[in-house]
């Protein structure tokens, strides 16, 4: 009876250790569905962006459905951060900066990812089409 209880406890502990790393993995910082808006003047327009990582490049589309448009270019530049010095609090370090640029249907969106390794990622920046410009703010859902 005792060995069965010990064996069951060990199996539960092993199962718990195996599931934690899988749940913590988020994948590529851009992969997923992003939802938010972009503004023209003071008028916000809803936007949905779906991005996929195939191991080499990011592809995707904007506003899925019958009027969707493919992303024609996606680029992400990462400026490495700097770890806090030994004995310093972790807030003394400098986090990495994730700059993103994607193009779709004549529009160019450029921004920075906030919380790049968290589930509540946001991409905030500006967009441009010809002489029109504005801001955008999308969140990964």
State yes or no: pLDDT of 17 exceeds 90. no
Confidence of residue 88 (pLDDT cuts 50, 70, 90): confident
Please name the residue that has the structure tokens 């400098």.
94
Overall average pLDDT of the 99-119 stretch: 93
- pLDDT at 15 (0 to 100): 43
> What does pTM read for this prediction?
0.76
- pLDDT at 27 (0 to 100): 72
Query: Which token pair is 76?
Result: 């992400």
State yes or no: pLDDT of 132 exceeds 50. yes
What tens digit of pLDDT does each residue of 47-66 get?
999 999 998 999 999 999 99
State yes or no: pLDDT of 24 exceeds 60. no
Q: Which residues have C-beta within 8 Å of that of residue 101, sequence separation ≥ 6?
A: 73, 74, 75, 76, 108, 109, 110
**What whole-number distance in Å separates Cα of residue 11 and Cα of residue 44?**
53
Q: Percentage of residues in the chain with pLDDT exceeding 70?
A: 82
């Amino acid at each position: 009876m005792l060995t069965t209880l010990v064996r069951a406890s060990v199996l539960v502990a092993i199962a718990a250790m195996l599931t934690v790393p899988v749940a913590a993995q988020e994948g590529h910082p851009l992969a997923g569905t992003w939802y938010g808006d972009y503004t023209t003047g003071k008028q916000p327009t809803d936007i949905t962006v779906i991005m996929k990582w195939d191991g080499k490049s990011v592809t995707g589309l904007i506003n899925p459905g019958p009027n969707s448009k493919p992303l024609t270019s996606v680029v992400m530049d990462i400026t490495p951060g700097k770890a806090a010095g030994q004995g310093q609090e972790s807030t003394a370090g400098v986090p990495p900066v994730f700059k993103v640029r994607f193009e779709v249907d004549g529009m160019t969106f450029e921004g920075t990812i906030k919380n790049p390794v968290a589930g509540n990622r946001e991409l905030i920046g500006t967009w441009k089409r010809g002489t029109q410009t504005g801001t955008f703010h999308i969140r990964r859902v």
